[in-house]
Amino acid sequence: MEEGHLGEQRVRWPGRREDVLHALRALGDRDYQDQHWRSEKGLPDLTAAVHWLIDDTFIDQNGARALIPHLFVDQREADLVQMVVDALLRVLDDLGPTAPDNAYLDHPEWINVLDSADVAYLALSSGKPRS
């Protein structure tokens, strides 16, 4: 049996955590976004990433800390993901839900989504903070 990410062994909803990790990985990878989202080829697409990170978790309404120990091992993990959600919501609030993917990717605030998602993904997938 293949061993999953370290955090999966310590949360109540490991499957949902895996969805969050997929979203973070895609949101933090500019090359992936350029290759797949700009060409509208590849999953997860931007809609799926937003769905997994926000719609399925209700972090935008309840905060990430409310999901300890369901999705996140500790406050550090929750706070890292909250930073991603906050950055993503700033872009979504500015452009609305129906803008083309390229508009989100070209938004001046998108760099904050990229950077925070990369840090969060690396921390959650390795079980330790990125140095």
pLDDT, tens digit (0-9, with 9 covering 90-100), for 34-82: 999 999 887 889 999 999 999 999 999 999 999 999 999 999 999 999 9
| Residue 79, CA distances (Å) to 6, 26, 63 in order | 18, 19, 9
* Owning domain of residue 40: 6-126
pLDDT for res 8 = 53
Question: How much is the pTM?
Answer: 0.89
pLDDT of 5 > 70? The answer is: no
Domain count, the chain: 1
CA 33 to chain centre: 13
Examine residue 23 and state whether it is found in any structural domain, yes or no: yes
- For every residue of 84-110, DSSP letters joined together read HHHHHHHHHHHH-TTS-HHHHHHSTTH
Examine residue 69 and state whether it is found in any structural domain, yes or no: yes
Examine residue 40 and state whether it is found in any structural domain, yes or no: yes
Examine residue 1 and state whether it is found in any structural domain, yes or no: no
Kindly report, residue by residue over 92-111, the tens digit of the pLDDT. Answer: 999 999 999 999 999 999 99
